[in-house]
Amino acid sequence: MNKLSRRAFTSALFSAPVAAGLATGTLVHAATKTAADVQPHAQIRLGRFTVTFLNDGYNDVPIGAFQGRPVEELTAMVDRQFEVRAEQTVRISFNQYLIDDGERKILVDAGTGGGFGETGALPKGLAAIGLGPADIDAVIATHLHFDHITGLVRGGEKVFANAEVYADRRDVKHFTDPAKAAAAPDLLKSSFAAAKELARLYPKLQQIEGAEQIVRGVSTVDLSGHTPGHIGVRIEDDGQSLLLVGDMLFHPALHPAAEDVTIAFEADPAAARAMREAFFPRAAEEGALIAATHIAFPGLGRIVKDRGELRWTTADWASMR
């Protein structure tokens, strides 16, 4: 089926429900909402932990931001999943996670702070579950790219007044190095600026390296490659586990099948590729429950091997409550 006839088919398929929705007014209601108004949160239980999935918003990233294969091939890959949007973009989510062990509230990543794409919703998401910034005891930054740490700072002040911030020392060293900041491409300048502010405002920044325990049942995992100190977070209790993998996967149309596809923000594409080549098959073998920052909310699923090819499959979070 070619593109045109497939779209015609799609619109025919949906014409009846759309008409029904308009008749009842439900679609009109939905259409008046913006991303910042909607505060979806999904929650799962994992032993003594409650993990809440939060969402700062989304951005439509040009396909040309992905590298490693010709843009026509990347376009075909995402088009196969009906994901090519206006002006050849792929929609990328910004998910964060709140880990609650009954005593401490640990936030993993802090979003963009707004001002980038349709983002800035994280504070509203926290408020929707009854939490203000002062309630957060710790923030673990999976890495120091701007879309994971800018939400930690607002107007030159720290947002999370009572939080210890954890980041890998290799990322702290890299992103606070003035020489590296000066030499960085424009694309990465905001990450260097955000990291500098982070180090200034959170002087107790608890630098870790690779795999370390943060609290009982919550530990970091070395997934370096996307950045020099990119880490995951493993939550484990009562024989269950969840691995928060940060930027290991960007979009299911590309990852995990094409571990050679990188994104322009990856300063060392060879390292990023090596990280994915090592991790994807291992995750499939373990059947690990994974959550990825940029996969559509809540970004929870597994990497599975299907007829010799690795692919992403979403997990049913609603049954894990």
Which residue blocks in the chain are alpha helix, DSSP H? 3-24, 26-31, 71-79, 122-128, 146-149, 169-175, 178-183, 186-201, 269-286
Q: Look up tokens 């080549």; give the residue.
A: 277
Tell me how many residues contact Zn ion (CB under 5 A): 2
Minimum CB separation from Zn ion for residue 288, in Å?
20
- Establish if 83 lies at the interface with Zn ion (CB under 5 A): no
Tell the smallest beta-carbon distance from residue 94 to Zn ion (Å). 7
Residue 263: CB minimum distance to Zn ion, A? 8
Q: Residue 56 phi/psi, 5° resolution?
A: -85, -15
> How far apart (Å, rounded) are the C-alpha atoms in residues 214 and 166?
9
CB closer to Zn ion out of 247 and 259: 247
Taking the least distance from each CB to Zn ion, the nearer of 147 and 259 is 147
Q: Could you tell me the smallest distance in angstroms from the CB atom of residue 215 to Zn ion?
A: 24
CB of 92 to Zn ion, least distance (A): 8
* Residue range at the interface with Zn ion (CB under 5 A); choices 34-42, 140-148, 268-276, 305-313: 140-148
Span 239-268, contacts to Zn ion by CB under 5 A? 247
* Candidates 42-50, 59-67, 144-152, 229-237; binding stretch for Zn ion (CB under 5 A): 144-152
Please give the structure tokens belonging to residue 20. Answer: 């029904």
Task: Please identify, using beta-carbon distances, which residue of 217 and 252 lies nearer to Zn ion.
Answer: 252
Site for Zn ion in 259-318 (CB under 5 A): none
Using the minimum distance from each CB to Zn ion, give the nearer residue, 37 or 186. Answer: 186
Q: Which one, 56 or 147, has the nearer CB to Zn ion? A: 147
Strands 49-62 and 118-119 turn out to be: antiparallel
Q: How far is CA 202 from the centre of its chain?
A: 23
Q: How far apart are alpha carbons 87 and 135 in whole angstroms?
A: 41
Closer residue to Zn ion (CB): 117 or 123? 117
CB 226 within 8 A of CB 170: no
Tokens read off for 51: 């993990």
Stretch that binds Zn ion, among 15-23, 116-124, 143-151, 233-241 (CB under 5 A): 143-151
How many Å apart are CA 118 and CA 199, to the nearest integer? 26
Q: Restricting to residues 22-81, which ones interact with Zn ion according to CB under 5 A?
A: none
CB of 250 to Zn ion, least distance (A): 8
Exposure of 13 in the CB half-sphere (CA atoms within 13 A): 6
What minimum distance in Å lies between the beta carbon of 172 and Zn ion? 17
* Per CB under 5 A, 147 contacts Zn ion: yes
Q: Is 174 within 8 Å of 235 (Cβ atoms)?
A: no
Given the complex with Zn ion, which of 94 and 317 has the nearer CB atom? 94
Between CA 109 and CA 96 the distance in angstroms is 6
Residues in contact with Zn ion by CB under 5 A are 147, 247
